[in-house]
Chains A and B, each alone.
Chain A
């Protein structure tokens, strides 16, 4: 098992290196296939490891492999180790599986882009980092993987680097991620201080004793870790980077900002569950933030018009569910939702990429309409993904979301509030999802759709930035000249079909009363949890019924508003104008952060430069030193003026001094 475990990491690394170093030598398309093959190799290695793990006995299902020790001094045990246990293999399988399909999709989608090789190098690097993160056996490698993933995200968001909006978005994402990194590292330190080891298993085993008297430190450390999780998983208030991250190419949005990177926070909480269970305060913070996020994101998703941003807010909302779940102790449910979400969200993003291509690069929902006949395959993909997202039975999303809410409800007491709010969120989810689908596919076909029905793919006269409308070109650093839709590209269709199938049948691993394969698989990791009970049978059934009703109600409402009576949304917007303004301005988070954080720092920077740098450093320190030297030289120069009498005077002065010395000595 050791070989296959390390191969999981080494395949994507090899892919990155080959693509980045050899892209000039390799013919164009080959780079894409190498990238895809590398990730597929990692997937195969993950499956092999999964099988090998399955063969082991229950007690030995958590294995650590160490490559080498970095440091073993002063009590800091830094090693390059990976941990193979059900949780990490589950994550590795999801990451590599979905990544393979997205790589396949990108082979066709970006084939006319001048930065093709760079894209696949970055994408492989990202998968390597993500695998490093989920396979980490100690805090050190976790932090390294966390940081790498942030860097990969920055590189990929600003992939079209000549677009100012893209580079700004990349910087914004990176800066917010760094805030999270700081939280992660500080949290690690707080925990390390009392546990004395960076190793996960070591920390967890002795957690109860170590923190028995240091509850405060544990809670502080966990809340700092949560800051890291929130930044990475785009929870309120560190979420503002995710909608802007849609500036990256669609496969990037699919992979990073739907299926894998943003789920790192969920993974973190699930991995640290022994520590979270010791601190109720931290768990409560996580659950409440998750709940708040899912509601806020849901409301914003109703108002924004950019297609990719609606899906982005949907991601934020679903991750809110997952965070709420794993904070409340519903680990299996949260991870189940992670998996199903990866399937249907990646599918939705891929389909969105296809329809944006059909629109010639235009991303606004207001301009789309009636693509049902022109793009049947994309339409079906959207519908499948939408149904899964809206939690309609028997799609996978139904079972996973339901299980989270059931587990939360089963905790009783104040958690019922979160339970109810979860279903409110489900209603909102269905509503905005089907708003999206109905706006794009129903109604009168727009000119681009008509062109496509006649077989001609629309191209804008000049390539443009979908956000600002400014004209671009198609050289490297901007999107390529061609647009690729699913109906015409075999690779895109293949990837989307597989994901659609998974979105439909993915729920089979954990159907209530029928199967509990996932729970059984993940049991060795979560055996020490005190929340294993799960909801009672009645609660489960009630939950299933309520979920179905809520989903149906959401879809029906969306149908009424956006199909049957087209003017309704405009009227509602007028009636609830303040609410609409709040939603469409994304609850003013960007403005608040600008006021509270960005402006003070900008002021500090200006102050530093103008006052401190100029006056103190240049004037006093640098200038002062040089002036002292100049003055000293001037004084020395004055002694050498060629003036004989001055020299003689100095001589006499010297003699006087020496005589004085002798006089004093003899006295």
Chain B
């Protein structure tokens, strides 16, 4: 398959991830959707690496995975902390940082 098909898949997954981030109320699921978006970016990177015949895109994708892992760590740590405080796990309810 030519590379543009992979890019279409990437775009689709990215859009679905964006919709998920905006729609779901559970912060865990929001983090999952963020992972979706990162993975979409990974597809695009790998596809372009293949297109240019250059493995640098794959290195980039590995680093993106590392970053995603770190971010999941921190995000889940936050959710655990919120849960420990007995606050509801709902982004709509946690809105004390408002203007």
- Taking a contact as CB atoms under 8 Å apart, the answer to whether B22 and A641 are in contact is no
Question: Top 5 closest A-B pairs, CB basis?
Answer: A640-B99, A642-B98, A642-B95, A644-B91, A641-B98
In B7-39, the 8 Å CB interface with A consists of 18, 21-23, 25
**Interface presence of A24 (CB below 8 A):** no
Number of interface residues of B (CB under 8 A): 13
Between-chain CB contacts (< 8 Å), 24 pairs: A639-B99, A640-B98, A641-B95, A641-B98, A641-B99, A642-B96, A642-B97, A642-B99, A643-B91, A643-B92, A643-B95, A643-B98, A644-B92, A644-B95, A645-B21, A645-B22, A645-B23, A645-B25, A645-B91, A645-B92, A648-B21, A652-B18, A652-B21, A652-B22
Q: Which residue of B lies closest to A655 (CB)?
A: B18
In the complex, per-residue mask of B73-99: 1 if CB is within 8 Å of any chain A CB, else 0:
000000000000000000110111111
Chain B positions within 8 Å of A649 at CB level? 22
A155–B25 alpha-carbon span in the complex (Å): 80
Interface residues on A, range: 10 to 19
Contacts of B91 in A (CB 8 A): 643-645
Q: Summarize A's interface: helix, strand, loop or mixed.
A: helix
Of residues 625 through 665 on chain A, the ones whose CB sits less than 8 Å from some CB of chain B are 636-637, 639-645, 648-649, 652
Shortest distance in angstroms between B76's beta carbon and chain A's nearest beta carbon? 16
Q: B17 to nearest A CB, angstroms?
A: 10
Chain B contacts with A in 42-99, Cβ cutoff 8 A: 91-92, 94-99
Chain A residues positioned under 8 Å from B92 (CB to CB): 643-645
Q: State the Cβ distance, B22 to closest chain A Cβ, in Å.
A: 5
Residue of B nearest to A637 (CB): B99
Q: Which residue of A lies closest to B15 (CB)?
A: A652
Residues on A with C-beta less than 8 A from B99 are 636-637, 639-642
CA distance A640 to B98 in the complex (A): 5
In the bound complex, residues from chain A placing their C-beta under 8 Å from that of B25 are 645
Cα A437 to Cα B10 in complex, Å, equals 119
A634 to chain B, nearest CB (A): 11
The A114-147 residues at the B interface (CB cut-off 8 A) are none
User: Chain B residues with Cβ under 8 A from A643's Cβ?
Assistant: 91-92, 95, 98
| A648 interface neighbour in B22, B95, B97, Cβ under 8 Å | B22
Q: Return chain A residues, CB-CB under 8 Å to B21.
A: 645, 648, 652
Give A648 to B25 CA distance when docked, in angstroms.
12
Q: Which residues of A contact B23 (CB under 8 A)?
A: 645
Bound together, the chains give a CA A499 to CA B38 distance in angstroms of 113
Looking at the assembled complex, report how far the CB atom of B23 sits from the nearest CB atom of chain A, in whole angstroms. Answer: 8
Closest to B97 in A: A642
Q: Which of A639, A642, A643, A649 has the most CB of B within 10 A?
A: A642
* Measured CA separation A398–B91 after assembly (Å): 108
Q: How far is the CB of A662 from chain B (nearest CB, A)?
A: 15
